[in-house]
A and B are shown apart, each in its own frame.
Chain A
Amino acid sequence: MEKIIIDAKGMHYTPLNRQIRQAVAAGIKEIEIKNVLGQRFIANGLRGDVKITIYGIPGGDLCMFMNGPECTVYGDCEHAPGNTMDGGMIIVHGSAGDAVAHSMRGGKVYIRDNIGYRGGIHMKEYESKKPILVIGGSCHAFLGEYMAGGLILVLGIGLQSPINDRGIGSGIHGGEIIIRGNVDDRLLGIGSRKVEFNENDLRRISPLIEDFCSKFNIDPNPLMDTNYTHIVPSSSRPFADKYTWE
């Protein structure tokens, strides 16, 4: 048996996760979960090579600590999908709440529409592990705050200005934030600065744009130019200058 279907209607998250884990342990490669309504922690700490498809609205901390699986959601997500995620992928056909990809250290999170506050906060990278968060629409304040590594890409598809909220990259000391179109200077947080977005950068991120668009059936061509704002840390030691020793 390669694929199973779980009906999550009225089910608590613990038995749901137990079923998922048992299925993965039994070698199942595809799990479809129907009627999801607010169950938190789905695929929490899950490892392995499995594709999970969720129909409905999962609760908070979807795929937290997950390492490996690919999880597609047909619906919106609550608080912090991809929280402290280690590897694998989340694809959300909808929007998500606050703290998306919080402290994520590897893998990819794609959100088709919008996210709330503190998206990609404190994402970090190490050696080959480089977390990526792509947002098709817009987001609220403190995007990429304290960011220590990885990439956040905001495409603002169909929007005049993708972000109108402040504190972008405040305290950022690693990684990069790329936002479609122009971003007003006053929206940048302390410790972040803009640099030029050039053809090389475009070449670097175009496979990512294509991959994102392919998941949601979006035409990538209108996004393939250098009309992006590139935000990076002004220092890898943002607080080094604040202190003196007794």
Chain B
Amino acid sequence: MTLGSVPLRYKVSIDRDQCMQCMRCVDNCSYGVYRVEGDNILIDSRKCTACHRCISMCPRDAIILQERPVDYRSHPLWTAQTREDIINQARTGKILLAGMGNALEYPIIFDRLVLDACQVTNPSIDPLREPMELRTYIGKKPARLEFRKNDQGDVELATELAPNLKLETPIMIGHMSYGAISLNTQLSLAKAVKAMGTFMGTGEGGMHKSLHPYQDHTIVQVASGRFGVDIDYLERGAAIEIKIGQGAKPGIGGHLPGEKVCVDVSCTRMIPLGSDAISPAPHHDIYSIEDLAQLVRSLKEATEWKKPVFVKIAAVHNVAAIAAGIARSSADAVVIDGFRGGTGAAPKVFRDNVGIPIEAAIAAVDQKLNDQGIRNEVSIIASGGIRNSADLAKSIALGADAVYIGTAALIALGCRVCGNCYRGLCPWGIATQRQDLVERIDPDIGAKNVANLIHAWTLELSELMGAAGLNSIESLRGNRDRLRGYMLDEGLMKVLNVKPVGA
């Protein structure tokens, strides 16, 4: 028996009175929604992904898009999506893959935390008048400093300092690999981080040579597939990150389908054209925390102890204990990726159900490291669903040193979170390798947009800090007294170590 088709996800229509037949929608849609027949533009709504490319290009605001134009019988449990997933799996018998981050309606903890401001008793600071210290160092800090007097009688630092990354603002761009995103996207991000004095992750899969001029602002990644990893690559990065897990799909590997492995991607990843790039679930040379320490030290040894090494894990139930193990492995920073982290593709059951929110993970890790007296051994980088400067400020107040943004940076380049990255047809030129689409991004303009975003958040962060009477990021870091929980339950407030509003 046939199951027939499911209702349209989106319905596109054109206000024909407004339309001037410029055909921009036809040219811009890479999913094939529009077709010209004679004088008429025909619409195939079933192909629409709500990427909004046509809408953003239409000079007449003539395009109308409606989500779920056909109602199901409403039911709180059997939502349209649940029903459609079942139909899909009844048809195929396969694992469901989905794009972008967690799409279930879990409460957002960030939105239930409020920040503090000064009134009367201690004055707030005007960032226009007073310098705001946002410079952030990522890496090990010495537990104590020792000094010696030199021949001239001057005091010198005797303690040997571990290499640190110097960030002008605590916002970095997380790892999105070439292959998953286009070269022009990576170039835009690279130019932006260089201009803003911060860093970006290259993702797993090597570094394209066009990125070499920006290598001092990159963090290179070593993931379980070891794609594109050689000594040359390791030496180029300002820091090296070992990717153990990812918030969107904790516990499982990755898989770049052969269709996305074009000539340039093949060369950067160092794999044959069109072959699948499979990253196994674990690193097969890491089966224990001791093995992790071995890889950390191996990377340091290979680069002569000149570079900080980060370890990225997905935020899972035992994140605090795992981070404490990482802190003892010679790693310089732990990156925690919350369950809202974005991705090009992940099994839906993982994306929506595995892992914990970043807010709780930051607090638990910061607390554990402090309790064990090893907070100075590693910096904490938080990622996975950081949407604005408020999330940034709250992350730092919960204990993070800096954040990685991913989706937010892509939105600054046009992404509308349509979640169809896996199809390789991104009309914004982001998640695609098709040359005509990639060329839709001008890296200079893209860089400006991304730099604007980072600049704007940095300004807002200074304002928030100033209002709270703080003039340095260190005073905000882990300062949970400047947070209050609003409508959070007692158990969670205990984990976050924050008081309720009014207390």
Contacts and interface: CB of A to CB of B under 8 A. Distances in A.
A98 to B, nearest CB: 8
Contact of B285 (A21, A83, A237): A83
Given A122-B226, A246-B97, A40 B276 contact: no
A80 B285 contact: yes
| Majority DSSP secondary structure for residues of A touching B | loop
A78 B301 CA distance: 17
Contacts of B99: 246
- Chain A interface size, as a band, is 35 or more
B2 to A, nearest CB: 17
A45 B276 contact: no
A118 interface: yes
Contacts of A149: 271-272
Interface in B91-140: 91-92, 94-99
B346 to A, nearest CB: 10
A197 interface: no
Interface residues of B, number: 46
A38 B35 CA distance: 68
A103 B228 CA distance: 11
A148 B275 contact: yes
Interface of B: 85, 88-89, 91-92, 94-99, 225-226, 229-231, 234, 255, 257-258, 266-267, 270-272, 274-276, 278, 280, 284-285, 291, 294-295, 297-298, 301-305, 347-348, 419, 422
Interface in A191-246: 236-246
Interface in A88-105: 99, 102-103, 105
A113 interface: no
A76 interface: no
A121 B280 CA distance: 10
A124 B302 contact: no
A70 interface: no
Contacts of B297: 40-41
A41 B301 contact: yes
Nearest to A42: B301
A112 interface: no
Contacts of A125: 272
A129 B270 contact: yes
A243 B302 contact: no
A67 B231 contact: yes
A83 B225 CA distance: 12
Interface stretch (A1-9, A28-36, A58-66, A156-164): A58-66
Given A102-B284, A239-B255, A67 B301 contact: no
A245 to B, nearest CB: 5
Which 8 A-B residue pairs are closest in the complex by CB-CB distance? Answer: A45-B302, A244-B94, A103-B226, A246-B98, A244-B92, A126-B270, A41-B301, A45-B231
Given A173-B275, A237-B258, A40 B298 contact: yes
A235 to B, nearest CB: 9
A47 B231 contact: yes
Given A44-B301, A118-B284, A244-B88, A236 B95 contact: no
A155 B193 CA distance: 52
